[in-house]
Structure 1
Amino acid sequence: MAEIPAAPFPFTFDPKSMALVVIDMQRDFAEPGGFGASLGNDVSRVQKIVPTVKKLIEGFRAAGLPVIHTMECHRPDLSDLPPAKRDRGNPTIRIGDEGPMGRVLIAGEPGTAILEELAPLPGEIVIEKPGKGAFYATPFGDELKRLGAQQLVFAGVTTEVCVQTTMREANDRGYECLLAEDATESYFPEFKAAALAMIRAQGAIVGWTATTDEVLQGIADA
């Protein structure tokens, strides 16, 4: 067993059971003209973490550990998009509408793609998810079992929505979860801070947090 210095206390792990989960680092959430920007959000906050997420991915690849990518997207016929999700709020464009980068959050469209700098390598698992959590209506759980992964390191966006939702889903299923706090981001800094506090509260009730450098140093020492 090895250790990563984390909050609220060190994260003990077995490298053979570790995997990295990168949540929704997609053009529509990170680039001007995408869905995130259409909601009035400052997407530069997401862009700033791209080098850190890339460093984390490359560290896992170098260590021979699995990297899993998720993408929030829907079928072209919108059959997996409930009205409660499509009709929420007052965006300038809605999921499924034609936007500057193709139909918004529709599988196969340019804006739905993962950022080029973070693109999956051949053979890496890519989970297309219609919800906020990666377990809902996807093969994510089956893929984790196939890998033998029990301890998950998380990165991606947004901290308080898709990242935290997936961590809570994983926690309920018995996985131990560690969030790389500088490799995740929210459009709202106060929401990120609150999510980090909630995750590690009450003795890591949902999981642990640590920096990318701490994670990679722990993997290297193992």
Structure 2
Amino acid sequence: MITALDKNTALVLIDLQKGTLSAQLAHPAKAVLANAARLLDAFRNASLPVVIVHVNPVGAPWTKTRKQVSMIPADAEGQKAAEAKMQEEGFFTIVPEIMLQPGDLLVTKKTWNAFYETGLHDELQKRNVTGIVLGGVSTSVGVEGTARAASELGYNITLASDATTDRIASAYEHSVNTIFPRISEVDTTDAIIKTLNGK
């Protein structure tokens, strides 16, 4: 349950792109995106930072070292071909509901963690951000990975539980009910917007 938001809190939305949302999800994508869009409006109206994160796993360290079969080839030529195909299919494209606006930060990550080798922490520090509200896909992967790093960096974290989902319902439940309560507050989009507006 949310108790407060820091004065300088940023909204960070993870991987709301065509490639990740094309999978079968535990919750209807339409509802998750609608809540994420409401958070976007609320943060923009409050003149608070908005960060849109998307993932391009091509070239990530794990793609070069994993022994298991991966959707990303390990060799340079294969990676180039995979990236071209993903680009052609719109994998990296942010969905229309999450339209970028001037002033938004767009961050491209290679791993689960949006802070890892992206400059996100530096950009937030320039804006004196001390708290983040998180949403996106997948709850147990990119959202949780980013939250864990944010916790290590000392940010106050709030998870918008209805602005995130996962491919696996049990993974979503584990993250929301077990992991996030240890490193953040968890509440609904309605409650977060109400707190943001000081009501």
The aligned runs of 1:57-72 (5 Å cut-off) are 57-72=40-55
Where does residue 13 of structure 1 map in the other structure? 5
Where does residue 46 of structure 1 map in the other structure? 29
Whole-angstrom CA distance in 1 between matches of 2:80 and 2:19:
13
Q: Is the 8 A contact 1:151 1:176 kept in 2?
A: yes
Task: From 177, 185, 188, give the equivalent of 1:208.
Answer: 185
Verify: 1:56 aligned to 2:39, yes or no.
yes
Q: Is the 8 A contact 1:30 1:43 kept in 2?
A: no
Shift of 1:221: 1.4
Q: Is the 8 A contact 1:45 1:186 kept in 2?
A: no
Identity %: 25
Q: What letter is aligned with 2:194?
A: Q
Q: What letter is aligned with 1:63?
A: A
Where does residue 179 of structure 1 map in the other structure? 159
Where does residue 221 of structure 1 map in the other structure? 198
Q: Is the 8 A contact 1:182 1:211 kept in 2?
A: yes
Structure-2-length-normalised TM-score: 0.85
SS at match of 2:91: helix
| Cα 1:43–1:94 shift into 2, 3 Å | farther
Verify: 1:103 aligned to 2:85, yes or no.
yes
SS at match of 2:107: strand
Paired residues, number: 194
* Higher relative contact order, chain-length normalized (CA < 8 Å, sep 6+): 2
Shift of 1:44: 7.1
Whole-angstrom CA distance in 2 between matches of 1:58 and 1:159:
22
Q: Is the 8 A contact 1:25 1:157 kept in 2?
A: yes
Whole-angstrom CA distance in 1 between matches of 2:60 and 2:89:
17
The aligned runs of 1:1-222 (5 Å cut-off) are 6=1, 10-15=2-7, 17-31=8-22, 37=23, 41-42=24-25, 45-74=28-57, 78=59, 82-84=63-65, 88-89=68-69, 94=72, 96=79, 103-104=85-86, 110-200=90-180, 204-221=181-198
Shift of 1:169: 0.4
Moved over 6 A (4+): none
Larger proportion of helix = 2
Instruction: Show CA shifts across 1:20-68 (max 9, x none).
Output: 000010100113xxxxx4xxx4487434411111111111111111110
User: Can you give the 5+ residue segments of structure 1 that lack an aligned partner in the other structure?
Assistant: 1-5, 32-36
Q: What letter is aligned with 2:195?
A: G
Whole-angstrom CA distance in 2 between matches of 1:179 and 1:165:
13
